[in-house]
């Protein structure tokens, strides 16, 4: 029972999204109504000049960030990476981040809507007014001593056999695998966790006993923990990418 632990989104960024941060459990104790949020991004597709912002540059200090967050110079404080399909990013709570223009991402996150906007890059609405920022709250959340890269490099090449690549293996909130399937994949929930399957580039069929269900491209399939054994059927002569999430 209770609330489902995850939210799954597809983000199609027609423009650069705001610079923001989410709180961890400790920050939530100081911020009434806040809920912690760790998330991950999987790059489905990206324009050639698309970028991902995830984390602070090693040269950035708290003082330099506060001095520049409302100016274009803040970009010197940020870790900026070129978007490459198949790459992923673990955005732990307390990590400053933004989705760049031209990205199509799968986002898997804790079920929380708490977001603190630091900068909206100077944009204003049709009335000439900027969106509300949450700088004081954000400063309570940002992990200024954390400089580890959030990027997880993706799979290179294709194969004529099934492959499984762990993307997120040790997070206490979710575990994520990149399945590259050339033929039938057999799996089992074992009563431990639901399996959440997201199709990336081709449709699949979920088969149990004599029943099969087709899942189109870019769709999610939630398989309950009590489901037990099942098969994923894929089209022949082509590699199919499926992102599998469990808790």
Active-site choice (3, 117, 131, 163) = 117
DSSP classification of residue 152: E
Q: Structure tokens of 153?
A: 């490099």
Q: Structure tokens of 238?
A: 């082509």
Bridge partners of 233? 205
Q: Structure tokens of 97?
A: 């981040």
CB 96 within 8 A of CB 78: yes
The 116-119 sheet, strands edge to edge: 78-82, 51-56, 97-99, 19-21, 116-119
Q: How many CB atoms are closer than 10 A to CB 157?
A: 7
117 carries an active-site annotation: yes
Catalytic residues: 117
């Amino acid at each position: 029972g209770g609330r489902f632990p995850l939210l799954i989104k597809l983000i199609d960024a027609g423009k650069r999204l705001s610079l923001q941060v989410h709180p961890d459990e400790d920050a939530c104790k100081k911020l009434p109504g806040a809920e912690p949020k760790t998330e991950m991004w999987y790059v489905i597709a990206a324009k050639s000049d698309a970028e991902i912002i995830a984390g602070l540059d090693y040269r950035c200090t708290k003082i330099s960030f506060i001095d520049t967050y409302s100016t274009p110079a803040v970009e010197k404080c940020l870790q900026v990476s070129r978007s490459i399909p198949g790459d992923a990013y673990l955005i732990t709570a307390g990590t400053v981040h933004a989705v760049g223009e031209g990205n199509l991402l799968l986002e898997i996150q804790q079920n929380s809507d708490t977001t603190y906007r630091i900068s909206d890059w100077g944009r204003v609405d049709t009335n000439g007014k900027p969106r509300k920022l949450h700088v004081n709250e954000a400063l309570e959340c940002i992990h200024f001593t954390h400089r580890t890269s959030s990027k997880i490099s993706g799979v290179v090449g294709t194969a004529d056999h099934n492959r499984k690549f762990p993307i997120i293996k040790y997070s206490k909130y979710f575990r994520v695998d990149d399945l590259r399937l050339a033929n039938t994949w057999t799996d089992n929930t074992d009563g431990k966790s639901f399996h959440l399957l997201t199709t990336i580039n081709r449709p699949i069929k979920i088969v149990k006993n004599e029943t099969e269900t087709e899942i189109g491209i870019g769709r999610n399939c939630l398989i309950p923990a009590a489901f037990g054994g099942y098969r994923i059927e894929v089209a022949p002569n082509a590699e199919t990418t499926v992102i599998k999430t469990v808790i």
